[in-house]
């Protein structure tokens, strides 16, 4: 078998040197009654590469790949063009098959890229420090709320209605167990967002306010007023960024005085991958660094005085602190962080700002084009590369029918908020640099047809 | 994994022989193929870029007055410079592709490249999680098939696919246990965890709101069954057992432990990190386990990537199956697949404790793991366990004359061999031995874990090493171990040949520098 290098002769020689006749003797501590007498039934036996490829290719073929048809989905996962070099970089065996850098002398490759990643994320977010990644944006969001609880010693978090409903769902699940109180209601088609409501909800029991920027309906709001009021009540402002490319065009949450900024880095380097693996981004102000979850890479020197990098502030973490750790996270999303940082490096500031403008201006064109269709109205006054259309029919069946015609029209709000009748007419449309005019016209024609 | 003992002091060594002294210093500071590579912030600039983008259309922006006005401060490089930057950095990394990676508890087996090829098929890589389900039937079937493999390999009736890593899987299992107990009106406060457990176990239990208490081990390195039974009571919600345990030993009383725990009204969580020792040969379901996470990035060969991404699906017993989190994939009578999300949960799965993560789980790792399972098959996976165990026992017996192996006399080990620092002289430590191994061309074994053995060294070769590779490793390990026993002073300043000498971790923690700053910025901050 191609992944098992031992020959029968090797095995015999090794058994002999151990003083055993058969490998079964090495399983002597395992009670006989639970040892299986042969390979597990109902599972296939081994297969060569060709057969395995055929099986997997058949599965892959049964999916509509985004690049093969008009595609306009977003809602927390975005289709961007990843430059060809990125995938080659992350497939270098020294990155792909490396371990967590616990032995820094032979892991400077991983450690230096993590340091660069941390710096890029901190700068993008406008905060002082960032960690070496979390699993994804939704778990990073919950960890931020937990961190706010540790810092403020309060248990009530106010969640904006603009927070991704999956993220809200994750927080609700965890809060049931930790007894944190979450204040939240689903959004409505109000172009202004819920900033005023949130301001009213901040009081002396609040640990944090959590806002998404841009939010789930694509709205962009100035969060400085929220920061100010939160701080007046000694609460924290947590900003959630599900589309980091937006920060190439928009003011950063840190500039608006957010205390913790978390997000999903998938847009850069990582690709759609049906939802995972993704990469959670986590940054905060300097004064909170010792309360951060996750790995941190820091600069130091070696015994010859040369600069090097190591994992640091490990007393926060599970392998040192065990039940007193800030989080239980161990394996995070290292290779995706590498993809993110490599993509950012290829873009550079200039490239990121151009990419952001390209996304936004294309989205403006598409929004106006689609908003002009009879039966469609554009909800947003402002947006980055994703906006909400309000249709005069239930959007969800339309999206399904268009998918059958090989048009991936966007995410219906009915899919995200199945209980909410009012939102059923909403359609989230994302436009990136990968969308073409031709595809837009195909979508427009299809919507016209559906709504006539 | 290995244990960082916080605050290990290091300092510039007096007896270091610097290159200047031997006349071998270079103008660049480079050493042939090992090139010191600056940071991108030192190399690049904000106006350089390695991508060409089309022109944006000529329209007014609509950003609500929140246009960025200040610089971000991220540099760019051309494509060639970018590729060179990361290539140079990669060459300063050890990896499985470079050599045997003996990290106990991590299962650093070869990462097959077929996995990478399959994961990149556009039908897997370029699909969005919220596409209408009829447009992603192949993806849903992939998840369903992998779930089926995991259930059959473990003999358990249900599996949650969404946890993103082992620790996330542990949380999933513990929350399911908590939900089950709350559902029967019997919320309990304490989880029992062996002292030898991986740090994520108590961290997870605490994160889920439990108090954690230790279970002692007996002299044979196993859970003390009588002590456990004595502690079981109405306040114990469950136990977290690793089996084989972190000393590399099978818990022969596992069934008795499960029975006792169940009798006391509690539930059994099994940490499946060491599944490689028994996969295809033993099913945890037959041992009375209620929940077990599986590390796809350990047993099932998905790459470690320098710190993830992993994937930690959790198999469940009948008792816990109703509480499994959302979302998961089900098959309809017409053979089509659908995702059970919040919407459909009420009809089919009303006891689910809820969603743990956005979207559906680590699809990229599912395709890799399924490719691996199809390649090995049930017969190959059984051989995996047998070769893993054989390789570890071979190492144990070849080295027990030169290194103290605390449990070597009591019988065979499983897939990993445990040694201690007993007999090291001249105040040499496990850390010094490990750094000596680096010079020999190997990543060190897991150090200082499990906590229950002094100066623990945990060696897991895995099944993908040939006898020849293992013999070479044994030779190197033996050589450095002998030096440690003999008190070889040079080990205290090892490694001597790595891209970096020993790094000052104390300094890094005392004065954390976690981001790059411009030199002026940095000087200001330091004032």
Question: Looking at this predicted complex, what is its ipTM?
Answer: 0.97
Report the C-alpha gap between A229 and A223 in whole angstroms.
Answer: 10
How many Cβ contacts (< 8 angstroms) between chains A and B? Answer: 746
Substitution target in A35, A277, A296 with the highest count of B β-carbons within 10 Å is A277
pLDDT of A406 reads 97
- pTM here is 0.96
Q: Which residues of A touch B493 (CB under 8 A)?
A: 303
List the 198-237 stretch of B: residues with Cβ below 8 A of A: 198-200, 202-209, 212
**Per-residue pLDDT reduced to its tens digit, A329-374:** 878 899 999 999 999 999 999 999 999 999 999 999 999 999 999 9
Q: How would residue A316 be classed by pLDDT, with cut points 50, 70 and 90?
A: confident
Asked if the Cβ–Cβ distance from B307 to A383 is below 8 Å, we say no
Q: Inform me whether the C-beta atom of residue A287 falls under 8 Å from chain B C-beta atoms.
A: no
Asked if the Cβ–Cβ distance from A347 to B82 is below 8 Å, we say no
Q: Inform me whether the C-beta atom of residue A95 falls under 8 Å from chain B C-beta atoms.
A: yes
Nearest Cβ partner for B175 among A120, A177, A271: A177
Substitution target in B58, B80, B307 with the highest count of A β-carbons within 10 Å is B307
Report the C-alpha gap between B242 and B197 in whole angstroms.
Answer: 7
Q: Inform me whether the C-beta atom of residue B283 falls under 8 Å from chain A C-beta atoms.
A: yes
Q: How many helices (H) and strands (E) does chain A have?
A: 14, 13
Q: Which residues of A touch B384 (CB under 8 A)?
A: 4
Asked if the Cβ–Cβ distance from B280 to A328 is below 8 Å, we say no
Q: What is the pLDDT along chain B (527 residues), one digit of tens a residue?
A: 333 333 333 444 555 666 656 678 889 888 888 899 999 999 989 999 999 999 999 999 999 999 999 999 999 999 999 999 999 999 999 999 999 999 999 999 999 999 999 999 999 999 999 999 999 999 999 999 999 999 999 999 999 999 999 999 999 999 999 999 999 999 999 999 988 888 889 989 988 889 999 998 888 889 999 999 999 999 999 999 999 999 999 999 999 999 999 999 999 999 999 999 999 999 999 999 999 999 999 999 999 999 999 999 999 999 999 999 999 999 999 999 999 998 888 887 889 999 999 999 999 999 999 999 999 999 999 999 999 999 999 999 999 999 999 999 989 999 999 999 999 999 999 999 999 999 999 999 999 988 889 999 999 999 999 999 999 999 999 999 999 999 999 999 999 999 999 999 999 999 999 999 987 765 555 55
Query: Within 13 A of B360's CA, how many CA atoms are on the CB side?
Result: 28
Nearest Cβ partner for B365 among A139, A277, A348: A277
List the 213-232 stretch of A: residues with Cβ below 8 A of B: 220-222
**DSSP assignment of B378-433:** HHHHHHHHHHHHHHHHHHHHHHTTTSB-TTGGGS---S-EEEB-TT--TT--HHHH
Asked if the Cβ–Cβ distance from B56 to A354 is below 8 Å, we say yes
Q: Which residues of B touch A116 (CB under 8 A)?
A: 39-41, 516
Write b or e for each residue in A188-224: b if 16 or more Cβ atoms lie within 10 A of its Cβ, otherwise e: eeeeebbbeebeebbeeebbbbbbbbbbbbbbbbebe
């Amino acid at each position: 078998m191609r992944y098992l290098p031992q020959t029968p002769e090797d095995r015999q020689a090794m058994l002999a040197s151990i003083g055993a006749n058969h490998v079964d003797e090495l399983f002597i501590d395992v009670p006989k009654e639970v040892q299986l007498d042969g390979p597990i039934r109902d599972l296939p036996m081994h297969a060569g590469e060709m057969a395995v490829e055929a099986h997997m290719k058949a599965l892959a073929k049964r999916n509509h790949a985004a690049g093969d048809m008009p595609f306009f989905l977003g809602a927390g996962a975005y289709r961007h063009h990843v430059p060809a070099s990125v995938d080659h970089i992350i497939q270098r065996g020294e990155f792909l098959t490396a371990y967590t850098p616990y032995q820094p002398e032979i892991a400077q490759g991983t450690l230096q890229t993590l340091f660069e990643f941390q710096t890029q994320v901190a700068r993008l977010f406008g905060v002082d420090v960032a960690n070496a990644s979390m699993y994804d944006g939704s778990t990073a969001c919950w960890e931020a709320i937990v961190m706010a609880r540790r810092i403020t010693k309060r248990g009530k978090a106010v969640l904006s209605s603009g927070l991704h409903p999956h993220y809200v769902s994750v927080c609700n699940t965890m809060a049931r167990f930790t007894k944190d109180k979450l204040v939240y209601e689903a959004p409505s088609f109000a172009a202004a967002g819920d900033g005023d409501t949130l301001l009213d909800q901040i009081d002396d029991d609040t640990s944090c306010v959590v806002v998404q920027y841009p939010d789930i309906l694509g709205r962009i709001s100035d969060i400085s007023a929220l920061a100010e009021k939160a701080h007046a009540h000694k609460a924290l402002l947590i900003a959630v960024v599900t589309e980091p490319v937006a920060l190439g065009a928009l003011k950063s949450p840190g500039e608006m005085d957010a205390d913790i900024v978390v997000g999903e880095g998938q847009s850069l380097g990582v690709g759609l991958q049906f939802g995972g693996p993704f990469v959670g981004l986590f940054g905060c102000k300097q004064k909170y660094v010792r309360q951060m979850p996750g790995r941190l890479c820091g600069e130091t020197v070696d015994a010859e005085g040369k600069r090097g990098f190591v994992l640091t502030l490990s007393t926060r973490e599970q392998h040192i602190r065990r039940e007193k750790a800030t989080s239980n996270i161990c394996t995070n999303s290292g290779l995706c962080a590498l993809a993110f940082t490599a993509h950012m490096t290829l873009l550079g500031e200039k490239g990121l700002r151009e990419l952001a403008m390209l996304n936004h201006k294309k989205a403006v064109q598409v929004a106006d084009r689609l908003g002009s269709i009879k039966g469609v109205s554009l909800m947003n006054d402002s947006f980055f590369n994703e906006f909400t259309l309000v249709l005069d029919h239930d959007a969800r069946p339309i999206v399904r029918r268009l998918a059958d015609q090989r048009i991936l029209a966007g995410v219906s709000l009915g899919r995200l908020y199945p209980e909410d009748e009012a939102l059923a007419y909403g359609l989230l449309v994302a436009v990136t640099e990968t969308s073409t005019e031709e595809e837009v016209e195909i979508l427009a024609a299809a919507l016209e047809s559906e709504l006539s | 994994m290995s244990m960082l003992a916080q605050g290990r002091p290091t300092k510039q060594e007096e007896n270091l022989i610097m290159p200047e002294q031997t006349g071998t210093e270079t103008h660049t500071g480079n050493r042939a193929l090992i090139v010191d590579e600056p940071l991108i912030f030192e190399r690049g600039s904000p106006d350089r870029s390695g991508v060409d983008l089309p022109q944006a259309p000529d329209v007014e922006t609509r950003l609500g007055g929140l246009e960025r006005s200040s610089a971000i401060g991220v540099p760019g490089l051309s494509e060639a410079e970018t590729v060179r930057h990361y290539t140079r950095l990669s060459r300063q990394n050890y990896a499985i592709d470079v050599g045997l990676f003996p990290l106990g508890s991590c299962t650093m087996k070869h990462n097959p490249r077929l996995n990478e090829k399959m994961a990149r098929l556009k039908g897997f890589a370029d699909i969005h999680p919220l596409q209408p389900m009829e447009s992603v039937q192949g993806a849903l079937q992939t998840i369903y098939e992998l779930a089926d493999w995991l259930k059959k390999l473990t003999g358990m009736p249900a599996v949650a696919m969404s946890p993103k890593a082992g620790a996330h899987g542990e949380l999933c299992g513990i929350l399911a246990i908590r939900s089950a107990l709350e559902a029967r009106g019997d919320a309990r406060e304490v989880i029992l965890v062996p002292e030898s457990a991986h740090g994520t176990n108590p961290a997870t239990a605490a994160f889920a709101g439990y108090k954690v208490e230790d279970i002692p081990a007996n002299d044979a390195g196993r859970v003390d069954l009588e002590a456990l039974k004595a502690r079981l009571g109405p306040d114990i919600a469950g136990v977290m057992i690793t089996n084989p345990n972190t000393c590399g030993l099978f818990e022969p009383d596992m069934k008795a432990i499960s029975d006792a725990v169940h009798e006391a009204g509690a539930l059994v969580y099994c940490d499946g990190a060491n599944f490689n020792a028994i996969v295809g040969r033993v099913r945890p379901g037959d041992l009375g386990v209620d929940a077990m996470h599986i590390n796809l990035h350990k047993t099932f060969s998905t790459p470690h990537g320098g710190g993830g991404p992993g994937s930690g699906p959790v198999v469940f017993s009948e008792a816990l199956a109703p509480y499994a989190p959302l979302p998961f994939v089900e098959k309809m009578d017409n053979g089509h697949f659908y995702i059970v999300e919040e919407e459909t949960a009420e009809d089919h799965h009303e006891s689910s404790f809820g969603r743990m993560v956005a979207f559906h789980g680590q699809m990229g790792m599912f395709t890799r793991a399924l490719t691996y399972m199809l390649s090995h098959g049930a017969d190959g996976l059984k051989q995996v366990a047998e070769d893993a165990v054989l390789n570890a026992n071979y190492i144990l017996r070849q080295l027990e004359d030169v290194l103290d192996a605390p449990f070597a006399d009591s019988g065979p080990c499983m897939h990993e061999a445990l040694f201690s620092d007993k007999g090291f002289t001249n105040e040499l430590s496990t850390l010094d031995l490990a750094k000596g191994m680096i010079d020999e061309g190997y990543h060190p074994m897991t150090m200082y874990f499990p906590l229950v053995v002094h100066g623990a060294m945990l060696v897991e070769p895995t099944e993908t090493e040939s006898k020849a590779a293992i013999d070479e490793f044994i030779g190197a390990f033996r050589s450095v171990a002998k030096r440690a026993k003999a008190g070889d002073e040079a080990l205290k300043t090892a490694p001597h040949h790595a891209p970096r000498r020993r790094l000052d971790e104390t300094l890094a923690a005392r004065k954390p520098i976690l981001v790059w700053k411009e030199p002026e910025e940095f000087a200001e901050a330091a004032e």
